[in-house]
């Protein structure tokens, strides 16, 4: 029996915060190509198109058979791979990965694809998603002597595969993915095959394409467009595709989930608007969300202004539906880097002005409907409203094309602990007052779900809005508590 001492409210909060921080926040993009003379170059381009899915580290593993050549680094794809690096990655097959994590584990050791030499040959895995029982499996394996070299949830897949007693690599892979729960879209390279797989709920996207006879796997169709590949179809939830010698075999080894749970946040924010997810174009869907928002939350105003770029499509939809003119009177600097040198003397609203600036002559005296796709901590909008006021805007009406974000994501989108989410701690009226807006309204959960029913072929996961998480997560068990050695030679120089 377990006893727990009563805790003060502050300690309870602290504990909740720690538990919530326990899951890995990975956002990723995966890409793979099998049977092309320029495999590494094409993977580089594919990753370039998927850069929005992860900006912290990237990597490509290329192969012509029994040797896998890996190049992984911290940073952006274009900064990491030059002609020299790519020319070293010879072979007709390749998988690649882009990753972003805010879990404090921004180290090269967590960069992907992750590779290992097994008794069945080399294996390289690129993973998008989050395995919710990774820590439990890791503890079990460590208890039996396994040595892990990263803190990434994806590494358990490699261990399970290496230890499986099945005969072929594909059966070992199937054995491994049968043991994990949560979200995974995977591209895997063995010595003679590329394997793609999606978890039975289908949380994350994965598409199949063809290029010059080669098979391509990509998180989003925008990567297929860039390389000039034709879209073949999506990998289905629960499906494993094995590509070998130009042929594709489709397997259904995983027990079927009762329903599909495609991440609605991919449509709303995460994916690129030019991608089609499960047959539905992201841009069109975002516009439709704006239309629904306009019907649900109308207000008299002079102009509809998006928060660039996340609010663009929803604002257009809102404007079209309401008949109020669309105007991009709030400009965004697209070249802002995560770190820059701040002035020693404080400049008012410096933080927001680096990224956004208001065109005063268009805005002074106007009633503005300000549209964004979501509010996370609230920092962006608080500053933008102040900027609009300073530009002489008469009324600011904030409209958000999603319901209030009240919960973390456990399936692979980077959201902060729920205590940090402004809508978890405050009511809509309180948030409106904190922002200094005249009104604030969100899309309703019912409106979001109705639209998904009408437009999407898949069921959705809306856990970050509804608190309904389709695959159970034991946050306590999922708490990493991993102490590790640190290879400082991997770390970027800090100034």
Residues contributing to the site for ligand AMP (CB under 6 A): 269, 307, 310, 372-380, 413-415
**Shortest approach of ligand AMP to residue 424 CB, angstroms?**
12
Query: Which is the catalytic residue, given 28, 58, 263, 464?
Result: 28
Q: Which is nearer to ligand AMP, 117 or 379 (CB)?
A: 379
At CB < 8 A and 24+ separation, what contacts does 115-118 make?
A: 115/61, 115/68, 115/70, 116/158, 116/162, 118/161, 118/162, 118/172
Taking residue 320's Cβ as centre, other Cβ atoms within 10 Å add up to 15
For the CA atoms of 305, 307, 311, 317, what is the dihedral angle to 10 degrees? 0
Buried b (16+ CB within 10 A) or exposed e, 251-262: eeebeebeebbb
Q: Which is nearer to ligand AMP, 214 or 435 (CB)?
A: 435
β-strands 262-263, 460-461: how paired?
A: parallel
Q: Which is nearer to ligand AMP, 110 or 415 (CB)?
A: 415
**Shortest approach of ligand AMP to residue 466 CB, angstroms?**
16
Whether the CA torsion 353, 359, 364, 368 is positive or negative: it is negative
Q: Nearest Cα to 53, choosing from 94, 22, 97?
A: 97
Q: Which helix (H) or strand (E) holds 250?
A: strand 247-251
**Shortest approach of ligand AMP to residue 398 CB, angstroms?**
11
CA separation for the pair 62, 121 (Å, rounded): 14
Instruction: Identify the residue whose tokens are 């690096």.
Output: 85
**Shortest approach of ligand AMP to residue 380 CB, angstroms?**
3
**Shortest approach of ligand AMP to residue 229 CB, angstroms?**
28
Residue 461 C-beta-side C-alpha neighbours within 13 Å: 27
Annotated active-site residue 263? The verdict is no
Here the tokens at position 130 are 């989050």
- Backbone phi, then psi, for 133, in 5-degree steps? -105, 25
**Shortest approach of ligand AMP to residue 421 CB, angstroms?**
9
Q: Which is nearer to ligand AMP, 230 or 379 (CB)?
A: 379
Q: Which is nearer to ligand AMP, 124 or 408 (CB)?
A: 408
Q: Which is nearer to ligand AMP, 28 or 123 (CB)?
A: 28
Q: Which is nearer to ligand AMP, 170 or 372 (CB)?
A: 372
Helical segments of 339-402, H only: 350-355, 360-363, 379-390
**Shortest approach of ligand AMP to residue 440 CB, angstroms?**
12
CA separation for the pair 378, 395 (Å, rounded): 19
The answer to whether 24 and 44 are in contact (CB under 8 A) is no
- DSSP, residue by residue, 204-225: S--EEEEETTEEEEESSHHHHH
| Residues designated catalytic | 28
């Amino acid at each position: 029996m377990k006893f727990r001492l009563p805790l003060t409210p502050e300690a309870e909060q602290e504990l909740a915060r720690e538990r919530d921080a326990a899951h890995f926040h990975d956002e990723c993009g995966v890409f793979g190509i099998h049977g092309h003379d320029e495999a590494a170059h094409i993977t580089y381009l594919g990753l370039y198109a998927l850069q929005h899915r992860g900006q912290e580290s990237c990597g490509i593993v290329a192969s012509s058979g029994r040797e896998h050549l890996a190049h992984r680094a911290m940073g952006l794809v274009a900064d990491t791979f030059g002609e020299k690096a790519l020319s070293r990655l010879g072979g007709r097959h390749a998988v690649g990965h882009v990753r972003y994590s805010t879990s404090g584990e921004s180290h090269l050791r967590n960069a992907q694809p992750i590779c290992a030499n097994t008794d069945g040959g080399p294996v390289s895995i690129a993973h998008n998603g989050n395995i919710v029982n990774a820590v439990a499996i890791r503890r079990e394996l460590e208890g039996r002597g396994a040595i892990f070299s990263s803190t990434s949830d994806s590494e358990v897949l490699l261990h399970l595969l290496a230890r499986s007693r099945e005969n072929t690599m594909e059966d070992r892979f199937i054995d491994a993915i049968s043991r994990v729960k949560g979200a995974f879209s995977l591209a895997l390279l063995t010595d003679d095959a590329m394997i793609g797989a999606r978890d039975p709920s289908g949380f994350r996207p994965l598409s199949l394409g063809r290029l010059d006879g080669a098979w391509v796997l990509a998180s989003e169709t925008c990567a297929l467009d860039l390389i000039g590949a034709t879209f073949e179809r999506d990998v289905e939830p629960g499906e494993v595709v094995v590509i070998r010698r130009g042929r594709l075999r489709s397997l259904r080894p995983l027990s079927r989930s009762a329903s599909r749970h495609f991440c609605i946040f991919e449509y709303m924010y995460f994916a690129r608007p030019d991608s089609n997810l499960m047959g539905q174009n992201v841009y069109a869907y975002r516009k439709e969300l704006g239309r629904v928002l306009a019907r649900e939350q109308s207000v008299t105003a002079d102009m509809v202004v998006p928060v660039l770029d996340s609010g663009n499509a929803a604002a257009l939809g809102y404007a079209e539906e309401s008949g109020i003119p669309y105007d991009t009177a709030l400009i965004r600097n697209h070249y802002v880097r995560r770190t820059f040198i701040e002035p020693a003397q404080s400049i008012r609203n410096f933080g927001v002005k680096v990224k956004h600036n208001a065109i005063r002559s268009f805005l002074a005296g106007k009633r503005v409907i300000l549209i964004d796709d979501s509010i996370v901590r609230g920092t962006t909008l608080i500053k933008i409203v102040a900027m609009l006021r300073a530009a002489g805007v008469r009324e600011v009406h904030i409209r958000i094309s999603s319901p209030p974000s009240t919960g973390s994501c456990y399936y692979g989108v980077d959201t902060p602990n729920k205590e940090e989410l402004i809508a978890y701690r405050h009511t809509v009226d309180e948030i409106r007052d904190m922002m200094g807006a005249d009104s604030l309204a969100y899309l309703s959960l019912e409106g979001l779900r109705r639209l998904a029913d009408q437009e999407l072929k898949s069921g959705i996961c809306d856990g970050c809005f509804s608190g309904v998480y389709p695959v159970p997560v034991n946050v306590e068990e999922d708490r990493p508590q991993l102490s590790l050695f640190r290879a400082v030679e991997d770390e970027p120089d800090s100034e």
